[in-house]
Amino acid sequence: MKPLLILHFLLAGYIFLPAQTLRLPRIAIAGLGIESSTFSPALTTEEAFHARYGKDVFKAYPFFAEDAPLRKQAVWVPALVGKSLPGGAVTRQAYESLVNKTLDSPKKNGPFDGLYFDIHGAMSVVGLEDPEGDFITRIRKVIGTKTLISTSMDLHGNVSWRLAQHTDIITCYRMAPHEDAMETKQRAVTNLLNRLASGKGKPAYKARIVVPILLPGEKTSTRIEPGKSLYQAVAPASVQPGIVDAAIWIGYAWADEPRNHAVVMVTGDDREAVTRTAEQLAASFWKVRNEFVFVAPTGTLAESLDKALASSKKPFFISDSGDNPTAGGAGDVTWTLTEILKRPEFKEQNGPVLIYASIPGPELVQKAIAAGVGNPVEGYAGAKVDSRYAPPVKLSGTVHSIEYGDKDAEVEVVVKVGSVYVIVTQKRKPYHNEIDFTRLGLQPRKSDIAVVKIGYLQPELYDMRADWILALTPGGVDQNLERLEYKHIQRPMYPFDKNMKDPDLSAKLVPLADE
Least distance to Zn ion, CB of residue 326, Å: 8
User: 35 vs 113, which CB is nearer to Zn ion?
Assistant: 35
User: 113 vs 154, which CB is nearer to Zn ion?
Assistant: 154
Using the CB atoms, write b or e for 358-396: b if 16+ within 10 Å: bbbbeebbebbbebeeeeebebbbbbbbbbebbebbebe
Least distance to Zn ion, CB of residue 156, Å: 4
Least distance to Zn ion, CB of residue 154, Å: 4
Three-state DSSP at 272 gives helix
User: 156 vs 261, which CB is nearer to Zn ion?
Assistant: 156
User: 156 vs 208, which CB is nearer to Zn ion?
Assistant: 156
User: 188 vs 273, which CB is nearer to Zn ion?
Assistant: 188
Least distance to Zn ion, CB of residue 8, Å: 47
Q: How many CA atoms lie within 13 A of 420 on its CB side?
A: 25
User: 154 vs 339, which CB is nearer to Zn ion?
Assistant: 154
Position with the least CB separation from Zn ion: 156
Tell me if the bond preceding 362 is cis, omega within 30° of 0.
no
DSSP annotation of 125:
B
Question: What is the strand order of the sheet 114-118 is part of?
Answer: 52-53, 75-83, 26-33, 114-118, 148-153, 169-172
Least distance to Zn ion, CB of residue 180, Å: 11
Least distance to Zn ion, CB of residue 86, Å: 9
d(CA 26, CA 3): 26
Using the CB atoms, write b or e for 302-341: b if 16+ within 10 Å: eebbebbbeeeebbbbbbbbbbbbbbbbbbbbbbbbbbbb
d(CA 484, CA 496): 11
Least distance to Zn ion, CB of residue 178, Å: 6
d(CA 512, CA 144): 12
User: 259 vs 343, which CB is nearer to Zn ion?
Assistant: 259
**Site residues for Zn ion per CB under 5 A:** 154, 156
Q: Which residues pair with 494 in a beta bridge?
A: 213
- DSSP assignment of 307-340: HHHH-S-SSEEEEEGGG-TTTT--S---HHHHHH
Three-state DSSP at 283 gives helix
User: 60 vs 122, which CB is nearer to Zn ion?
Assistant: 122
Least distance to Zn ion, CB of residue 217, Å: 6
User: 328 vs 474, which CB is nearer to Zn ion?
Assistant: 328
- DSSP assignment of 165-201: HH-SEEEE-S-SS-TTHHHHHHHHHHHHHHHHHTT--
Cβ within 8 Å of residue 84, ≥6 positions away: 33, 34, 44, 48, 49, 50, 90
Least distance to Zn ion, CB of residue 65, Å: 25
DSSP annotation of 131:
H
Least distance to Zn ion, CB of residue 213, Å: 16
Least distance to Zn ion, CB of residue 251, Å: 10
Contact 214/253 with Cβ under 8 angstroms? yes
d(CA 148, CA 27): 9
Amino acid at residue number 165: Q
DSSP annotation of 346:
G
Least distance to Zn ion, CB of residue 107, Å: 32
Contact 334/381 with Cβ under 8 angstroms? yes
User: 156 vs 367, which CB is nearer to Zn ion?
Assistant: 156
Tell me if the bond preceding 503 is cis, omega within 30° of 0.
no
Beta strands in 407-462, from DSSP E residues, in sequence order: 410-417, 420-425, 449-452
User: 156 vs 202, which CB is nearer to Zn ion?
Assistant: 156
User: 253 vs 383, which CB is nearer to Zn ion?
Assistant: 253
